[in-house]
Chain A
């Protein structure tokens, strides 16, 4: 069964993945709300940084 045919770009899929994974990491890995926000933001930033670094590495390997 297909609920709807969704075709995300690699970048959009990576951002979506990073956002929701960061929310869960923040909630489960820290104890107080302020730390949760900070840790979620940190995880999201690391995901995004890793995404761009990996992207540039692949670009360099390709050229």
Chain B
């Protein structure tokens, strides 16, 4: 008789598991507030470090007079910048609401600031994916 038992890796069993509330909530919360996806899963140190890293990058970018990209400018590079910025979630929404990052550039290092803001968004996307992996049990 054939052996019907199969051994599955943690990743396979995690993929087969039904989607839990936390698996939906953690990425959403983590996107809106950087690091919060980890904090609501009681990963205090990881969440705190992620929050500090993303927030610091974003606000340093603003302090360097970096630009926050807007959608629909028609320029391909601006669209890519917008995609990066949107990764910062709540920070991007807050920045647009309060009209941060829209000032006239007065110093040469402002372009660094723009890159800091884009990278803060991209790092937050990595943080969101990590929070999801923790929520589905793929990562401890």
Interface residues of A (CB under 8 A from B): 1-10, 13, 16-17, 20-21, 23-25, 27-28, 31-32
Q: Which of the four size classes fits the interface of chain B?
A: 20 to 34
A-B contact count (CB 8 A): 68
CA distance A27 to B112 in the complex (A): 24
Contact in complex: A27, B63 (CB < 8 Å): no
B-chain residues with CB within 8 Å of residue A17 when the two chains form the complex: 57, 115-116, 119
B-chain residues with CB within 8 Å of residue A21 when the two chains form the complex: 53, 119, 123
CA distance A37 to B115 in the complex (A): 25
A1-B100, A16-B60 known; A7 and B116 CB under 8 Å?
no
- Cβ contact of A24, chosen from B63, B65, B109, B126, cutoff 8 A: B126
Contact in complex: B59, A2 (CB < 8 Å): no
Interface residues of B (CB under 8 A from A): 46, 49-50, 53-54, 56-57, 59-60, 62-65, 98-100, 103, 107, 109, 112, 115-116, 119, 123, 126-127, 129-130, 139-140
CA distance A8 to B107 in the complex (A): 10
- Cβ contact of A10, chosen from B54, B98, B112, B116, cutoff 8 A: B112
Contact in complex: B119, A5 (CB < 8 Å): no
A33 nearest CB neighbor, chain B only: B45
CA distance A24 to B53 in the complex (A): 7
Contact in complex: A8, B139 (CB < 8 Å): no
Contact in complex: A24, B123 (CB < 8 Å): yes
